[in-house]
Amino acid sequence: MIQGPLKDVRQMISIPVLAGVALAIWAAWLGWDQRRDVHPDGSTTGPYEAWQVAGLVLTLLASVCWAASRRYVVGAVFGTTVGLTAAAWADWSDDASGLSAIGVGLVMVGSLAATAAVSFIIAGVNRSGSDRAS
């Protein structure tokens, strides 16, 4: 098990790495779809479909679980949150209604809560599993 300054450096490096991963995942799932769908009754939906958001969440879940299982909890939580918040801001910043700020805030709070919960569960399961193995 890595201890001391090297462990701290790896924790700190995991933050920008996982932020970049979150940005890339957002771009892959949501970044290319910018067109709203107009229905026959004149209502609009989108620009994202439910399958795109589900794909984003599941892919992010995999990266958060991977990082948390290696005890990079700080990177999993803060890196992913920063990456998603930056991606949402960049993607939605052209909204003239002002509601994009609320949406970005909700992405930030939701991703912080979700990644913290998943990370602490995964880290706790790994810790109890390694205690039994010792």
pTM of the model: 0.84
Strand partners, 45: 37
| Residue 16, CB-side half-sphere exposure with 13 Å CA sphere | 4
Mean pLDDT of 32-60: 88
Per residue in 90-108, pLDDT (tens digit) is 999 888 888 899 999 999 9
How far is it, in rounded angstroms, from Cα 119 to Cα 73?
Answer: 6
CA-CA-CA-CA torsion for 19, 121, 104, 11, nearest 10 degrees? Answer: -30
